[in-house]
Chain A
Amino acid sequence: MELLNILFEINTGHGLAALGAGAAAIGAGIGVGLIGKGALESMARQPESSDDLRANMILAAALVEGVALFGIIICLLVVLG
């Protein structure tokens, strides 16, 4: 926390951090939306492979979400750090 305090001690960071959190959410929204779209379409075409698809869908969503949370955590540290 202390190091990040020093790293992020910039005056203009706070408003931009809010924008950053929004941008991260937009990115994740698009990413997870595309995954959901792909998974649903595939499930509709081949309902018998639903179980496999669901596992892979969750995995891909988790990967996208990880990146988005990375961004949101940095924004949070800018604001609160």
Chain B
Amino acid sequence: MGKGAFIRDYLCVFLHRFFEPPRSMIIRHTKRLAFSALLMGASIIAFAQTDGHDGEEPHEQMSHSTHDAHDTHDAHDEFIAGEYIIHHISDANEIHFFGNVSAPLPMIIYVEGKGFDVFMSSAFSSDGDPHDVHAIKTATGPSTGTVYIKDPETGLRSEGGEAFWDISITKSVFGMLFIFSMLIFMLRAMAKSYSKNPGKAPSGLANVLEPLVLFVRDDIAVPIIGKTKSDKFLPFLLTTFFFIVASNLLGLVPFIGGFNITGTIGVTIVLAFVVFFITTVNGNKHYWGHLFWPPGVPNLVKLLVVPIEVFGMFLKPTVLMIRLTANMSAGHIIILSFVSLVFIFNQNYGGVAGIGMGVFSTLFMIFMYFLELLVAFLQAYVFTLLAAIYFADATQEPHH
């Protein structure tokens, strides 16, 4: 068989798998995990290699704090995959589009006893190259005169050691504000269209969003929580679902800064806390009874079961938080690892290898993007489903 035929057959299999209905979801899931493990391995190897270039023992290098590692890398043109990836998935005070093009975001800092400082993040400057990501940059607060030092390693601090609260509009906050305004606009328009022509088939925006709303109501809330009680929880479930879907999808749009909203632990911790709060507040006698005094369990076993149950009460929202963060971050890491592979091959094996890897990486990145589209919806579904299950646990009536 010729090479062309092989590639054609491979593409056929590849495309066929793609456009199949999502019944092979689980196969893709396994694949995704295998991929992430593979790529993480790849970036670990890359790490060891770039470290070895300094002529130092990699082990010794790693035992240093990362700050020392930077000083030894006096030439920053060396590509370090791990650093590059972490830089791109973490929150920032600017929206970085491509190359050296980025949009500044406002910094809002409250210095204790002095008041608020509001300035743009473009005010941060350093002596050297303004686009150097490793440079320590400084800025002076316009109203309090505090000098702020932004160290890429340790974060923001003030020169005089003053205590301050950083409530800046960061990239994630900006993305969330954008999503909030977009959702309010879209969902209000949808609600309005129902009151405008009642009893008629939905059109326009309402037509797009109605299946999603019905999906959350008929496939998540009603079967799990029950018809009578689900009305109480439906607003929260719908809000969470739409927020997570929208922020996951915003993270997939290229060239607008790579928002990683649901991959930021601060966002998911709040979502999980709200789920925990609603579960706890709505817990009925039956729920608390089963938690602290499970009926039909021997007293000695209760000693073992009750701590586990109480621990589980806190563990559930924690796992909810980690699942969403890890899944969305993993998606970004996989795509960024493919980008990194191009640079690693270019650096270690020359330009031709870099170009070859570029073709390969681009194909796989397109594949991963489609997979991430699926995961964006899947994770929103899983989060909403588990939240609904916890609410159902808290509100179910005794049936024995």
Contacts and interface: CB of A to CB of B under 8 A. Distances in A.
A21 B41 contact: yes
B40 A72 contact: yes
A70 B322 contact: yes
A69 B62 CA distance: 24
A65 B322 contact: no
Contacts of B23: 54
Interface string B151-179: 00010000000000000000000000000
A27 to B, nearest CB: 10
A59 B385 contact: yes
B59 A11 contact: yes
A2 B153 CA distance: 10
Interface in B82-137: 82-83, 85-86
B65 to A, nearest CB: 8
Contacts of A70: 319, 322, 326
A42 to B, nearest CB: 13
A18 B41 contact: yes
Given A14-B44, A22-B41, A58-B382, A69 B323 contact: yes
A66 B319 contact: yes
A69 B27 CA distance: 17
A80 B18 CA distance: 34
B63 interface: yes
A24 to B, nearest CB: 7
B326 A66 contact: yes
Among B34, B44, B330, B333: residue with most chain A CB under 10 A: B44
Nearest to A22: B37
Given A59-B382, A79-B82, A21 B322 contact: no
A62 B148 CA distance: 43
B11 interface: no
Interface of B: 23, 25-27, 29-30, 33-34, 36-37, 40-41, 44, 47-48, 59, 62-63, 65, 82-83, 85-86, 154, 219, 319, 322-323, 326-327, 329-330, 333, 378-379, 381-382, 385-386
